[in-house]
Amino acid sequence: MKQKFLVNAAIAGVLVFSAGGTSVFAHDELGGGEEKGENLAGVELAVPLLEGSKNTGNLKEVAAVQLQEIRPGVKNTTGDVYGYKGYAYLGTHSANGGGGGVRIFDMKNPSNPVEVSHFADIPGTWQEKVIVKSVNTKNFKGDLAAVSVQKTNRLDSNTQGGFVLYDVTNPLEPKKLGFWESSSSGSRGTHELYLTVQGDNVYVLTADCYADYYSHGKRMDVSIVDVSNPSNPETVYEFNPRNYISQVSNENYDGYNWTDEEGIKRTAFAHSVKTDETGKTAFLSYWDLGTIMLDISDAKNPVYLGRTDFANTVQGAAHSMDLAKGGTVLVETREVFGPVREGFESAYGYTMIYDIKDKSKPKLLSTFRTDFTGVIPGGATVHDPKVHGNTLYLSHYSGGVRTVDITDPSAPKETGVYIPSKSNIWGVFVDRNYILASDIGSGLKVLQKNAGNGELE
């Protein structure tokens, strides 16, 4: 389904949002602008996206909880959210000097989440992404948390970027196990990561934005790190796109700037990473290089499978992904804050859905676009996707949370919208019968699906 996306001429060129007069940019440190989303936190929309109730379709807010202040007088903002074994894990963002760590909420009563502990609150850094899984190796048995660590000042030699590992078997008393440093000179550290289990082997995949660029090719953006012994993480592989993709070489790619085969100047860096449920197929969201797919059955010797690609008129910006239909369908979200760029279509970032039964030839099935005509969206781009059954959940910054029916992936249909006051939704996660959403300026939001008769499921 290709819905027509309209951009109001009066706002098409408006990139300045009323947050201290700063401009809103995509996650593109080298292209200029603030860290994504942070300059929207706590800002009222110039024009409400919804009149009246903030709960439409099949979503209802049942809880909204601010983060506690772990340093007196310092308010931290949120990053991504993850749910595991009845607890919600909220990463924190870079506002007010960062150092907010990961917050753990007891979700026994979804309408009353209780912040019970925090960890990884490292001064001079911020912890956007956290993944928790149960592992069982000869060196560790229990619930393992992997947390991304980024410097607030990439040139500060007194801080380290990378990721940290914690034992959260008892979420009330997290225990530090180990730290992996992203040793690329000048880069911030690990932006996003993923924790995956292959039997007795446990790996963390990292997306260290701009490591390739800042190190002049000595370090790569994506690493596979063996954390089977969490106290001694060991890098076993680094992905170099020049070695796998015929359209990429030292001549047309410097780790950030890329000139594609059509002569179009683009941007390519690793933004996020994920695997399928088996842990044997990796998906690298590589901005204008699309979503790169690798067979990592042998983590030390991955095999390149294929990648998604973009039409000449489409800004790339492959930001995140998730899988549907047993791993045969790829949902790719693209973060584009600036809808107007010479030579490209006028559109904020939207979702692309692919058939990947043959990973060497991904087939575009449909796009899902939200129409923001007539409003100043501020952060209208899509952000992160999560798939649960036949429902796609999208975090959409000032566009809130969107639910999309993808029973037929070639014809996605929006079924629900949630837009809270001062909406700035970073992440979304489906956990049991409720939906977790992280709002950058407002903490944890808990949603439940409405059965259509006024009752919650």
Per-residue pLDDT, 2: 30
Per-residue pLDDT, 150: 95
More confident residue, 423 or 111: 111
At 202, which amino acid appears?
V
In angstroms, rounded to a whole number, what is the distance separating the alpha carbons of residues 80 and 84? Answer: 14
Instruction: State pLDDT tens for residues 306-326.
Output: 999 999 999 999 999 999 999
Per-residue pLDDT, 19: 28
Instruction: State pLDDT tens for residues 195-222.
Output: 999 989 999 999 999 999 999 999 999 9
**φ and ψ of 39, to 5 deg:** -80, 5
Per-residue pLDDT, 338: 81
Q: Which residues contact 444 (CB under 8 A, 6 or more apart)?
A: 63, 64, 65, 67, 78, 81, 88, 90, 105, 113, 436, 437, 438
Is residue 307 within 8 A of residue 291, CB to CB? The reply is yes
Is residue 332 within 8 A of residue 352, CB to CB? The reply is yes
Instruction: State pLDDT tens for residues 442-457.
Output: 899 999 876 454 444 5
Locate 375 and state its tokens: 């409003």
In angstroms, rounded to a whole number, what is the distance separating the alpha carbons of residues 30 and 71? Answer: 31
The DSSP letter of residue 456 is B
**Span 3-16, mean pLDDT?**
27
Per-residue pLDDT, 69: 95
Per-residue pLDDT, 382: 94
In angstroms, rounded to a whole number, what is the distance separating the alpha carbons of residues 385 and 396? Answer: 9
Confidence of residue 346 (pLDDT cuts 50, 70, 90): confident
Per-residue pLDDT, 23: 29
Per-residue pLDDT, 37: 52
Q: Report whether pLDDT(46) > 60.
A: no
For each of the domains in the chain, give its residue range(s) and CATH number, in order of start. 29-449 (2.130.10.10)
| β-strand partners of 283 | 274, 293
Locate 61 and state its tokens: 């807010």
Q: Which residues contact 252 (CB under 8 A, 6 or more apart)?
A: 258, 259, 260
**Span 137-141, mean pLDDT?**
96
With pLDDT > 70 as the criterion, what percentage of the chain qualifies? 85
Confidence of residue 49 (pLDDT cuts 50, 70, 90): very low
**Nearest CA among 10, 3, 2, 7 for reference residue 348:** 7
Instruction: Please say whether the dihedral angle defined by the alpha carbons of residues 384, 387, 388 and 394, taken in this order, is positive or negative.
Output: positive
DSSP code string of 110-158: TTS-EEEEEE---TTEE---EEEEEEE-SS-EEEEEEEEEEESSTT-TT
DSSP code string of 167-235: E-SSTTS-EEEEEEE---TT--B-SEEEEEEETTEEEEEEE-TTHHHHTTTSS-SEEEEE-SSTTS-EE
Locate 378 and state its tokens: 């501020």
In angstroms, rounded to a whole number, what is the distance separating the alpha carbons of residues 351 and 5? Answer: 12
Q: Alpha-carbon dihedral of residues 84, 36, 239, 205, nearest 10 degrees? A: -10
Radius of gyration of the chain (CA): 20
Per-residue pLDDT, 27: 61
Instruction: State pLDDT tens for residues 141-170.
Output: 999 999 999 999 988 888 999 999 999 999
Q: Report whether pLDDT(180) > 90.
A: yes
Confidence of residue 371 (pLDDT cuts 50, 70, 90): confident
CA atoms within 13 A on the CB side of 298: 5
Is residue 105 within 8 A of residue 113, CB to CB? The reply is yes
